[in-house]
């Protein structure tokens, strides 16, 4: 079992690109809820590539 805070950024990126932000889903945004997973670096890399906001809860609350 993997602790959620230790999920590598590459795995988060792959999940967003391959499972969530697909042409079939036509998303307006990706919102990550749960304060123990950093999404800042992932958001920075993927937002412009995908053309949608990727909102990690920690950065959004700040």
pTM for the structure as a whole: 0.82
Give the CA radius of gyration of the chain: 11
Q: What is the rounded average pLDDT of the residues 29-57?
A: 91
Range of the domain at 56: 4-61
Per residue in 37-50, pLDDT (tens digit) is 888 899 999 999 99
As a whole number, the mean pLDDT across the chain is 90
* Burial (CB count within 10 angstroms: exposed 0-12, middle 13-18, buried 19+), residue 13: middle
Per-residue pLDDT, 2: 66
Cα 5 vs. chain centroid, distance in angstroms? 13
Token pair for residue 40?
């800042």
Q: How many structural domains does the chain have?
A: 1
């Amino acid at each position: 079992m993997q602790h959620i805070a230790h999920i590598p950024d590459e795995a988060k990126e792959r999940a967003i690109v391959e499972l969530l932000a697909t042409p079939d889903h036509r998303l307006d945004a990706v919102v990550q809820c749960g304060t123990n997973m950093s999404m800042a670096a992932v958001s920075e890399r993927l937002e412009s590539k995908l053309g949608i906001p990727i909102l990690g809860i920690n950065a959004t609350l700040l």
